[in-house]
């Protein structure tokens, strides 16, 4: 039996749980952001993602490629007769990882796959883990097919395929619908060019001038169910603060070695964008990926005032 989990902490808890037999494999990737494309071969996709993460958040491309190749090879070596147990939380971060793994397992012909509904952020005893394992959901063909269709919608170059998926699919994977709706929140609004997480963060910055840690904790609490990582959040703030027309700035405090724990402030342009008198995409540009959709000035998918996506080719 092979247990696959996101994160070192739950991975160590499973390894320490003697009643649960089998290998524990911690899966490491960030499927909640970064480039994808249905036209890319797997090698091309890996290279593009590694280059993106090195450029935007400083993860060495060689390191990411090495880790990803290793875990993909390990996945491909799982015998078809093996039982695989996926331990994943209901948040968006874990659900995107779950559908990716189910898509891969479907392609590899792995049929003995179970899913454990892992509670978010809770400290679990051995008895808790055993009970969760006993309550696991055996995944059937309908679950695998839904994961494949969901992944294809997610990496489509037309993000309206996610909206169409939400309108036409049955709810076999219980948390995926909410995760996809949260995914749509990350598209810029028609009103000011900010996504909902950026707007929330900038409002907190205007009110408090927080440190990165303070801001991340507040936004994470407000975005319950996102599974927003500090890496993803830092990447979003980097985009707001970089370039010739930044919306935020960070001032280092006395004796601090780096800017992350300095106080964060809005720039005058950030104030204008937040008030709606200026538009983020037009004023400072954008080059970002959400699933398979690349957002750039002149080709930017946005949310209208009803929350529906449309393609803005004029910004």
Taking a C-beta distance cutoff of 8 angstroms, is the pair 209, 264 a contact?
Answer: yes
**Reduced to 3 states, what is the DSSP secondary structure of residue 35?**
coil
Distance between CA atoms of residues 152 and 149, nearest Å: 5
Q: What pLDDT score does 102 carry?
A: 97
Q: DSSP H helical segments within the chain, as ranges?
A: 8-16, 42-57, 61-76, 92-108, 126-134, 141-154, 160-168, 176-184, 196-208, 212-222, 230-241, 268-275, 280-284
Q: Where are the domains of the chain?
A: 2-173, 196-312
Residue 1 · residue 116 · CB < 8 Å = no
Name the fold adopted by 196-312: Arc Repressor Mutant, subunit A (1.10.10)
What the block records as the tokens of 310 is 């449309």
Q: 150 and 138 in contact (C-beta within 8 Å)?
A: no
Q: What is the CA radius of gyration of the chain?
A: 20
* Interatomic CA distance for residues 253 and 272, integer angstroms: 26
pLDDT at 253: 65
Q: What is the pLDDT of residue 254?
A: 59
Beta bridge partners of residue 5, listed in sequence order: 26, 87
The SS3 call for residue 116 is strand
Main-chain phi, psi angles of 241, to 5 degrees: -105, -10
Query: Residues 148-173, buried b or exposed e (16+ Cβ, 10 A)?
Result: bbbbebbbbeebbbbbebbeebeeeb
DSSP state of 299: B
Dihedral angle computed from the Cα positions of residues 178, 26, 222 and 249, in that order, rounded to the nearest 10 degrees = -120
Asked: is 2-173 a CATH 3.40.1710 domain? The reply is no
Contact between residue 196 and residue 184 where contact means Cβ atoms under 8 Å apart: no
| Residues 11 and 24 sit within 8 Å (Cβ to Cβ) | yes
Tens digit of each residue's pLDDT, the chain (315 residues): 999 999 899 999 999 999 999 999 999 999 999 999 888 777 678 899 999 999 999 999 999 999 999 999 999 999 999 999 999 999 999 999 999 999 999 999 999 999 999 998 788 999 999 999 999 999 999 999 999 999 999 999 999 999 999 998 888 998 999 999 999 999 999 999 999 999 999 999 999 999 999 999 999 999 999 999 999 999 999 999 998 999 999 987 655 544 457 899 999 999 999 999 999 999 999 999 999 999 999 999 999 999 999 999 987
| pTM for the structure as a whole | 0.93
In angstroms, rounded to a whole number, what is the distance separating the alpha carbons of residues 116 and 130? 11
């Amino acid at each position: 039996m092979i247990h696959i989990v996101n994160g070192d902490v739950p991975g160590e808890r499973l390894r320490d749980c003697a009643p649960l037999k089998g290998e524990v494999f911690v899966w490491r990737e960030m499927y909640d952001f970064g480039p994808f494309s249905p036209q890319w071969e797997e090698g091309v996709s890996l290279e593009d993602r590694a280059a993106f993460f090195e450029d935007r958040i400083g993860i060495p491309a060689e390191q990411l490629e090495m880790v990803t190749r290793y875990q993909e090879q390990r996945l491909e070596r799982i015998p078809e007769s093996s039982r695989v147990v996926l331990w994943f939380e209901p948040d968006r971060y874990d659900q995107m990882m779950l559908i990716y793994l189910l898509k891969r397992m479907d392609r590899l012909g792995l049929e003995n796959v179970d899913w454990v509904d892992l509670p978010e952020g809770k400290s679990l005893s051995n008895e808790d883990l055993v009970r969760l394992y006993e309550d696991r959901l055996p995944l059937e063909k309908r679950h695998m097919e839904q994961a494949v269709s969901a992944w294809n919608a997610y990496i489509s170059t037309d993000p309206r395929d996610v909206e169409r998926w939400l309108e036409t699919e049955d709810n076999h994977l219980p948390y995926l619908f909410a995760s996809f709706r949260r995914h749509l929140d990350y598209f810029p609004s028609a009103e000011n060019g900010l996504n909902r997480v950026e707007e929330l963060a900038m409002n907190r910055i205007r009110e408090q001038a927080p440190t990165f840690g303070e801001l991340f904790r507040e936004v994470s609490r407000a975005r319950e169910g996102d599974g927003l990582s500090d890496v993803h959040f830092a990447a979003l703030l980097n985009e707001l603060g970089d370039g010739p027309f930044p919306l935020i700035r960070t001032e280092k405090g006395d004796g601090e070695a780096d800017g992350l724990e300095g106080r964060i402030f809005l720039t005058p342009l950030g104030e204008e964008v937040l008030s709606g008198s200026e538009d983020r995409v037009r004023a400072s540009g954008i080059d970002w990926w959400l699933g398979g959709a690349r957002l750039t000035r002149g080709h930017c998918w946005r949310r209208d005032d009803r929350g529906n996506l449309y393609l803005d080719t004029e910004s």
